[in-house]
């Protein structure tokens, strides 16, 4: 900013404006810093998460991405509100328990791509994930993928 100030400021005003912009800047940095501390979650994929032990990640907020919901694994509570379900990255599975208050988005269903945010804990013996937030993206059948896979399979058939 300082180098640009001379374009619109008289000489005597420069110092004052520099002080003003420093104050605003510091305020914003403070807000951003404390804001990050409040809501930061470390993003991990399932293989990264499973490599580490539960105690290592104790109390750290984690966002687990790149998973889909295992078909048929969703077990709702009596009111269809807080489900337990398995997520998979194609190879490994992990049990997830939803603990949040919000009604899960309508896109949460079998095969949905999910991002879950919460804590990795040692449940009754088996490690599991306590998710406070579950983001669900529509399964890819709404865009791209499915037909492309189909076309890919056809190509393989034709070439063999």
Interface with other proteins (CB under 8 A)? 4, 7-10, 13, 16, 20-21, 24-25, 27-28, 31-32, 34-36, 38-44, 63, 65, 76, 78-81, 101-103, 105-107, 109-110, 115, 117, 133, 135-138, 140-147, 150-151, 154
Contact 45, 64 (CB under 8 A): yes
CA 145 – CA 151 distance, rounded (Å): 10
**Closer residue to other proteins, CB minimum distance, 36 or 124:** 36
Name the DSSP class of 4: H
* Concatenated DSSP letters of 64-79: EEEEEEPTT--B--TT
CB closer to other proteins out of 38 and 126: 38
Q: Name which of 48 and 122 has its Cβ closer to other proteins.
A: 48
Looking at beta carbons only, is 79 or 125 nearer to other proteins?
A: 79
Nearer to other proteins, 53 or 146 (CB): 146
Shortest gap between Cβ of 126 and other proteins (angstroms)? Answer: 26
- Of 92, 99, 117, the C-alpha closest to 42 is 117
Least Å from the CB of residue 107 to other proteins: 7
Start-to-end C-alpha separation, the chain: 64
- The least distance separating other proteins from the CB of residue 143, rounded to whole angstroms, comes to 4
CB 93, min distance to other proteins, A: 21
At 90, phi and psi to the nearest 5? Answer: 105, -30
Residue 130 makes CB contacts below 8 A (sequence gap 6+) with 96, 97, 99, 118, 119, 120, 121
Q: How far is the CB of 73 from other proteins (least distance, A)?
A: 15
């Amino acid at each position: 900013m300082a180098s640009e100030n001379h374009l619109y400021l008289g000489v005597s005003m420069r110092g004052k404006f520099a002080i003003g912009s420093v104050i605003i800047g510091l305020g914003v940095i403070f807000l951003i810093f404390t804001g990050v501390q409040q809501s930061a979650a470390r993003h991990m994929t399932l293989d990264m998460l499973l490599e580490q032990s539960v105690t290592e990640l104790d109390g750290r907020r984690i966002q687990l991405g790149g998973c889909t919901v295992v078909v048929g694994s969703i077990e709702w509570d009596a009111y269809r509100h807080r489900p337990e379900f398995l997520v998979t990255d194609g190879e490994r599975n992990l049990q997830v328990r939803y603990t949040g208050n919000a009604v899960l988005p309508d896109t949460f269903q079998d095969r949905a791509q999910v991002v879950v945010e919460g804590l990795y804990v040692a449940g009754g013996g088996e490690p599991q994930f306590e998710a406070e937030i579950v983001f669900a993206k529509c399964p890819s059948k709404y865009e791209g993928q499915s037909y492309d896979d189909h076309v890919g399979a056809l190509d393989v058939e034709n070439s063999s």
